[in-house]
Amino acid sequence: MDPAFAQDVFSFARLRYDSGDWDYNPKVAGNILDTVVQYTSIPVYPEEIVITADSPELLAFPFLFMTGHKLVRFTDRGAKRMRCPEIQFMEHLAVLA
């Protein structure tokens, strides 16, 4: 992640997983970021961020995008992190699109 990233901006974070085609539609990030800039006054981080379920930075992103056509499978560590009671990822997540 770029060190210039600040948590007070809208960031498009795409969840990468080990199975399937997690990056099925690469134009989605640019389209969403352009739309947010065009129609709102929300500050926007200009680049897509790709993050895995086992990343320690996962909870820094209240908007997390997931896509693909095949069965989603996480690594054992990523799956454990997604359901770990201490992290409570799904309770912290604002939007999983």
> Which distant-in-sequence residues (6+ apart) come within 8 Å of 28 by Cβ?
65, 67
User: What pTM value is reported for the model?
Assistant: 0.73
Residue 23 pLDDT > 90: no
The chain-wide mean pLDDT, for the chain, equals: 78
Contact between 47 and 2 under an 8 Å Cβ cutoff? The reply is yes
Residue 40 pLDDT > 90: yes
What whole-number distance in Å separates Cα of residue 26 and Cα of residue 24?
6
Residue 92 pLDDT > 90: no
In 3-state terms, what secondary structure has residue 72? coil
- Give the Cα-Cα-Cα angle 64, 69, 72 (nearest 5 degrees): 60
Extents of the domains making up the chain: 17-96
User: The tokens 């992640």 sit on which residue?
Assistant: 1
What percent of the chain stands above pLDDT 90? 19
Strand order in the sheet with 49-52: 49-52, 13-16, 63-65, 95-96
What whole-number distance in Å separates Cα of residue 95 and Cα of residue 97?
6
